[in-house]
Amino acid sequence: MKKNLGTYINPFTDFGFKKLFGQEASKDLLIDFLDTLLLEKEDKIADITYLKNDHAGRTELDRKAVFDIHCKTINGEFFIVEMQNAKQEFFKDRTIYYATFPIQNQAIRDSKKDGVVWTYELKNVYSIAIMNFRFDEFSPITKVKHHIMLKDIEDNTIFYDKLQFIYLEMPNFNKGINELTTHYEKWLYILKNIPKLQSLPPTLQDEIFMKVFAKLQVSSYTSEELNEYESSLKNLTDFVNSVNTAEKTGIIKGKIEGEKTGIVKGEQNKAKQIALNAIKKGFDNQTIQDLTGLSAKEIVKIRKENI
């Protein structure tokens, strides 16, 4: 029997992410989403061109946990948009590493041939990470959007604004449908909640969001596409389960190791206390060693520390 896939596609799957943001027919959705994230940006995005993202260095974890789109605006600005499903040890490092590719690719490789001397002027590069996890347990649970640029640490002024990183901690976004007040909040609500919805809520009946719901409606896809989506959904479920299992295993293992360490440490402390009492009563080292199991060196040390 065919699995119930719900009413709407999950955008946190590879299939859903590419359908929502990664196709020519979805270009206006991606542009609207990016403009919403960069409201302070003076010039809005008029058009984008999708680029290949076949850079070297992809790990097995990247391929399972990260779905990304690379694009360029007609003004020459570069955007990397990622849907990230699991925390990685060097997650921030990885996003910075991949942001260097569009920077390096702007260099004029053969300036002598065309009589052009490159002055190192760069176009803006934006890295957007939609994260299905929190940075860490110490970050504020109410903060969703982190907008990062190079700043002067002494006076907090922006030093360089052509390289920007935006991280969205989706687990921290918990507003209900009736609490949404901005276009930005509506986008976040849809990304997080659309797989659980049965229909388009009245609050979200803007033209752009109506297109989002139509784009992600399960009934609009062919059997072949739904098979692909089901496979993508299974990959996401399996991956999340494996990560959760690994975390639980690590917690249990850590707890067991901690208990073992505590027991050993407790026994050692007890033996040292017995040795100290025996020293005070005038016992010789060999007798104390027989009583406690401590080494002769440890007993000598206890004597010196308590003379």
pLDDT in tens, 55-114: 655 555 555 667 889 999 999 999 999 998 877 778 889 899 999 999 998 887 665 666
Q: Provide mean pLDDT across the span 241-245.
A: 64
Phi, psi of 125 (to 5 degrees): -125, 125
pLDDT in tens, 114-169: 667 788 899 999 999 999 988 876 677 789 999 999 999 999 999 999 999 999 99
**Average pLDDT score, the chain:** 84
Q: Pick the range with the lowest mean pLDDT from 161-165, 244-248, 251-255.
A: 251-255
| Cα–Cα distances in angstroms (integers) from residue 216 to residues 15, 21, 228, in the given order | 10, 11, 14
- Write the DSSP assignment of 149-200 as a string of letters: EEE-TTT--EEEEEEEEEEEEGGG----GGG--SHHHHHHHHHHHGGG-SS-
Q: Provide mean pLDDT across the span 181-207.
A: 95
* Separation CA 132–CA 129 (nearest Å): 9
Angle, vertex CA 273, rays to CA 272 and CA 279, nearest 5? 90
> Is there a contact between 79 and 73 (Cβ–Cβ < 8 Å)?
yes
> Is there a contact between 145 and 96 (Cβ–Cβ < 8 Å)?
no
